Amino acid sequence: MSRSAYNNTYILGISFISALGGYLFGFDFAVIAGALPFLQRQFGLNEYWAGFATAVLAIGAIIGCLIAGSVSDKYGRKKGLLVAAAIFGLSSLAMAFSPSRGVFIFSRCMAGIGVGMASMLSPMYIAEISPAHLRGRMVATNQLTIVIGILVTNIVNYSLRNVGEDAWRWMFGMGVVPSALFFIGAWWLPESPRWLVRAGRNDLAVAVLERIGGVDFAQSSLADITRTTGGGGKGLGYAAVFQKAVLPAVFIGIGLAVFQQLCGINVVFNYATIIFKSIGVPQDGQLLQTVFIGGVNLLFTLLAMLLVDKVGRKPLMLLGAGGLAILYIVVVRMLAAQSPQVSWFLLAAIGTYAMSLAPVTWVLISEIFPNKVRGAATSIAVVSLWAAYFILTFTFPILYLHLQDHTFYIYAGVCVLGGLFIAARVKETKGKTLEELEEVIIGH
């Protein structure tokens, strides 16, 4: 059918509302960078506790992903998004009013549950409501809201730097605002048509599909969805993910998710203050660098949204892996020389990541799994992502204490291995419907 027949305004609107879950991800991901110097003084955090206070978000996110897989398959994607928004809002208040290190860490873990649910459900929902020719760009909207969340949070952190020793409470408390907007917006979202078909509610699915692309689009989509779901019924659980036909896609999803984190770039987001402090940059300058990082991240994410449906997923992923490996080697040399010019190469690394591994990994994870196991398989992939994030962020302060700049050689090596994995195992997915991809990937 003609692409002009699609209701692009409606598609963009529901995609953006769902992607507000990404904003929550970006907020909690970035807020720790500005708050960490204050938390270290408030609670006496050494390298171990600084790493754990940062990384504990991932423990909650793993729990959130597992919850989201079950909730979204049983009750729908929309209800899962509403639960994520509520958890995030409550945990933001709990962190802001934490009286002790233990309460703060527990509250940040709870925030991770909301972030984990949103990080899984937002891109999956967008992929399920988007026509094939727009899907890459629409799923990348989730990454766009993540980076907007990071940038806005970094700006807020910088503006609060002189409030006093309780500045960190305001930083975390501000999370109530986006979580409330997300919760309100999610009430307006339609349910995923693919979930509705699986639940046997074809009439509602057709209504949503007609609003997205008209009658012809609705009928052809319904036929494809019904064929790949066996005519309806509940999605299969975690046991089905390990079926022989599905395992190749699951392994690719896990590999991409783990690589996106262990490539190392998130230490720049979370520990920019530590890195710049090591070369003598004062606290104001450290916080200002996080604003620059957020700005570059946003600009290159916008570039990725223009390229992902034109250039394709695989070329961008290979560009990211190779570019980061080279830039990390330069960063090591610059840090060793105590050169302030290292900031330019760190910003280049952020830009490279933002236009490649950051958004495209989420696009691929949302695309490659069969309809009947998408909830469970996506949950496993995103759990793997958060487990890798925990390992990365927990170990960095300890590694940097002992290895200093040489820590980035480790991440360069990971990027080389990741590039080889992508070249060997990842297939191009642009322009194909989710049902067409299912036939290509698992051979149905």
Q: Quote the CA–CA distance of 280 and 289 in Å, as a whole number.
A: 13
3-state secondary structure of 360: helix
Confidence of residue 433 (pLDDT cuts 50, 70, 90): low
Specify the residue for token string 């049902």: 435
Say how many domains are in the chain.
1
Dihedral sign of CA atoms 288, 305, 351, 31 in order: positive
Per-residue pLDDT band for 429 (boundaries 50, 70, 90) equals confident
Sequence-distant (≥ 6) Cβ neighbours of residue 102 within 8 angstroms: none
By three-state DSSP, how is residue 94 classified? helix
The per-residue pLDDT for range 330-358, each reduced to its tens digit, is 989 988 888 888 889 889 999 999 999 98
For the entire predicted model, the pTM comes to 0.75
Q: List pLDDT tens digits, range 20-60.
A: 888 888 888 788 877 888 888 888 888 788 888 888 888 99
Our measurement of the distance from residue 186's CA atom to the centroid of its chain's CA atoms, rounded to an integer in Å, reads 18
Per-residue pLDDT at 98: 92
Residue 286: phi, psi to the nearest 5? -60, -45
pLDDT at res. 329: 94
Measured at the alpha carbon of residue 155, what is the angle toward residues 296 and 144, in degrees to the nearest 5?
Answer: 45
Q: Give the number of other CB atoms < 10 A from CB of residue 337.
A: 12
pLDDT tens-digit series, residues 367-409:
888 777 777 788 888 889 889 988 998 888 888 888 888 999 9
For residue 382, the enclosing domain spans 3-442
| Alpha carbon distances (Å) from 200 to 166, 195, 229, 419, 433 | 52, 9, 11, 42, 21
CATH number, domain of 213, equals 1.20.1250.20
Can you tell me whether residue 151 is helix, strand or coil? helix
Q: Mark residue 443 as left, alpha or beta (left: phi above 0; alpha: psi -120 to 50; beta: remaining).
A: left
Q: Rounded distance, CA 117 to CA 119, Å?
A: 6
pLDDT in tens, 181-236: 999 999 989 998 888 888 888 889 888 888 888 888 888 888 877 876 655 545 55
